[in-house]
Amino acid sequence: MKPHSLLLFTSFALGVGLFGVQGTVFNMSENNSGAQDVVGHVGAFRVGIQAGHLKSDEAPEELSGLHGHGTGARGGGATEQEVVLKIARLAAEMLREKGVIVDVLPTTIPPLYRADAFVSIHADSNPSVVVSGFKLSAPLRGIEEKSPELEDAIYDSYEKATGLRRDPNITDSMKNYYAFNWRKYQNAVDPFTPAVIIETGFITSPFDQRVIVSNPELSARGIADGVFEFLNKDKN
C-alpha cells in the first residue's frame, strides 16, 4: 500500500505546531516555525519539505549537535534559514496548486515521517565567492529504491529552472544526513519514504545569489517540478 493511502500518524507536537488526523482530513496548524496550513484528503500525494536550520535550537536531545548551527550560512544580506524557508514555502504552494498535500517542516521532523517524497532544502557556502553550483544526494544507505529517481528528477528540473551548474562535490554529510538515519535517530524519515537533500546553491556566490536570494521562485519551481514529475512517474 502506498504511503498516501494511509493515515500516517496520530497527533504529536512539532515545536509550536501540532499535527493531527481527523477522519480523512489531515490538518497542520499555522505557526511561526514556517509550517503552513495543510488540509487534504487521504488518497492525495503527500510531500514533506524541510527548511534547513529552521528552529534548530529546538531540536531534541538526540539532535543536540545541531543546536550550535543557528541560522546557517550567510550571504547576499540574508541567512541560509531565511533563504531556504522562502524557497520551501514557494515550492509548497506550487505543489499545493497541483493538489499535493505538503508539510513544511523545521529541523525536527516527525518521528519516522512517512510521505510519498521528502526534500530537505539547504544552501551551501564557501570562503571563495567564485565557487558556485547546486547538488543533491539521496541516502547512502536507504532501504527503498526510489530516492535516486527523485534525485534525478530534481537535478534535471532544477538545472533547467535556475540555470545553475551541477556541483559534483557531494559530501558525506549529505549522504548521511541525520533525517535519513532512521536507525540512529527517532526524528528521521521512514525508511520507505523516497528522500533527498538539496544544496540549492552557494549563498556566498554572487552568481548563485541572483537565483536563491533574489529570485527564490526559480529555485522553488525547479524543486516543485522535479517532485511533481517524480510523483506522477511513481503513480503511473
Torsion of CA 166, 169, 170, 172, to 10 degrees: -170
Q: What is the pLDDT of residues 223-236, one digit of tens each?
A: 999 999 999 985 65
The residue whose grid cell reads 533563504 is 83
Q: Considering the chain, what is the average pLDDT of its residues?
A: 81
Residue 197 has pLDDT above 80, yes or no: yes
Judging by beta carbons within 10 Å of its beta carbon (0-12, 13-18, 19+), is residue 23 exposed, middle or buried? exposed
Query: Which structural domains are found in the chain, ordered by start?
Result: 43-235 (3.40.630.40)
Q: What is the pLDDT of residues 142-193, one digit of tens each?
A: 777 899 999 999 999 999 999 999 999 999 999 999 899 888 888 899 999 9
Residue 27 has pLDDT above 60, yes or no: no
- Is 69 in contact with 124 (CB distance < 8 Å)? no
The residues with which 18 forms a beta bridge, in sequence order, are 13
